[in-house]
Amino acid sequence: MKRFLAVLFAFGFFITVNSSVYAGDSAVCYNCPPMWADWASQLKAIEKNIGIKLPHDNKNSGQTLSQLIAEKGNPVADVAYYGVSFGIKARESGVVAAYKPAFWNEIPDGLKDPNGYWFTIHSGTIGFFVNKDALADMNAAVPRSWADLLKPEYKNMIGYLDPTSAFVGYASAVAANMAFGGSLDNFDPGIKFFQKLKKNRPIVPKQTSYARVISGEIPILFDYDFNAYRGKYKDEANVEFVIPSEGTIIVPYVMSLVKNSPRPAEGKAVLDFIMSDKGQKVWANAFLRPVRAGVLSPEVAAKFLPAADYRRAKAIDYQKMAVVQNTFRDRYLEEVR
């Protein structure tokens, strides 16, 4: 069946909801929240094209891995989605299965486990998701650097997701640490930044906070470019994405087939579809960078910040990022929280 689907995808054909194999079937994806990365559209596309329904799931990456480990003896989920370091940890924890989806060869080396225990589906760039109206109401300027955020004028205006649980929070911490001269072997600058930031009383939620930025409740959020572009171009909010002047990082998001999942055939079909042209275009239309080259249209790419700004965003050693994640977590809990 995998080979059959791959051939269909290669020639641009897709199983429809009338398929006798998949019609009416369901599967479970951990961490596919409709308000994040336009999973709402992706879930609809999956049901429309291959007839598989996936319920909404609002976990973050850390909660997803914890749940997979807790259910290791009796899995509930079929596929999982998370930041790359959690995908690497999922393989180490023995909760995911090797699977190479359709278009496997188009995923660059370094963005996939060689055996398919995890693989990138899209990426984003860390920066500041800013509600300009909210800042104007408080007579504050749009921050342009990590250092700007330490100014007292931004008190009660800054948010970041919990870096001990949410992957975007950890990725933001890594970006800030490197911007101040740190490395994956030295988190001292990042820890000092968060200690100083406490004076501005940041808001630290555990779940995606897109709606709270759009409403102005959180005027500045450490987040990905795709959420800011979505707010600007789809929800027509007066928001802006800022790539800080000191630099930032590019972050892959990955998926896995869950080991001993209840519905492996459906799980594989979902992963194959997400890697297909139609699946990848859902991400592109939501301003994420699809892992397959050439899927992002010129029209969508023109809405991104200029290439000169993105030159401040760097890829890093994602394997090392996963290895040192607990080191940062423990230091944050002890020295910041």
Q: For 262-321, what is each residue's pLDDT tens digit?
A: 999 999 999 999 999 999 999 999 999 999 998 988 999 999 999 999 999 999 999 999
- Where are the alpha helices (H) located in 11-104, listed in sequence order? 39-50, 61-70, 84-92
CA nearest to 258, candidates 61, 94, 19, 39:
94
Model pLDDT, residue 23: 39
Residue 36: its pLDDT value, please? Answer: 84
Q: Where in the chain is the domain with CATH 3.40.190.10?
A: 2-122+252-301, 124-250+312-335
Around 25, how many Cα atoms within 13 Å sit in the side-chain half-sphere? 26
pLDDT of residue 7: 36
Residue 211: predicted pLDDT: 94
Beta pairing class for 52-53 and 25-26: parallel
Query: Which two structure tokens, joined as six digits, stand for 316?
Result: 């890093």
Amino acid identity at 9: F
Q: Are 47 and 14 in contact (CB under 8 A)?
A: no
What one-character-per-residue DSSP string does 179-215 give?
HTT-BTTB-HHHHHHHHHHGGG--B--SS--HHHHHT
Task: Tell if the pTM clears 0.85, that is, is over it.
Answer: no
- What's the CATH code, domain 2-122+252-301? 3.40.190.10
In this structure, what token pair is assigned to residue 136? 């104007």
Q: Is 305 helix (H, G, I), strand (E, B) or coil?
A: coil
What is the per-residue pLDDT across 96-141, written as a single tens digit (0 to 9) for each?
999 999 999 999 999 999 999 999 999 999 999 999 999 999 999 9
164, pLDDT greater than 90:
yes
| Residue located via tokens 């275009």 | 281
pLDDT for 249 beyond 60: yes
Give the C-alpha distances (Å, rounded to integers) separating 243 from 10, 228, 309.
36, 11, 7
Question: What pLDDT, on the 0 to 100 scale, is given for residue 19?
Answer: 30
- Determine the Cα–Cα distance for residues 251 and 168; give it in Å rounded to an integer: 9
Residue % of the chain over a pLDDT of 90: 87
- The conformation of residue 220, written as its DSSP 8-state character, comes to E
The CATH label, of 3.40.190.10, 1.10.357.10, 3.10.450.50, 3.40.50.300, for the domain at 124-250+312-335 is 3.40.190.10
Residue 86 pLDDT: 93
What is d(CA 43, CA 204) in angstroms, rounded to the nearest whole number?
28
**pLDDT band (50, 70, 90) for residue 192:** very high
pLDDT beyond 80 at 14:
no
Contact at 8 Å (CB) between 255 and 100? Answer: no
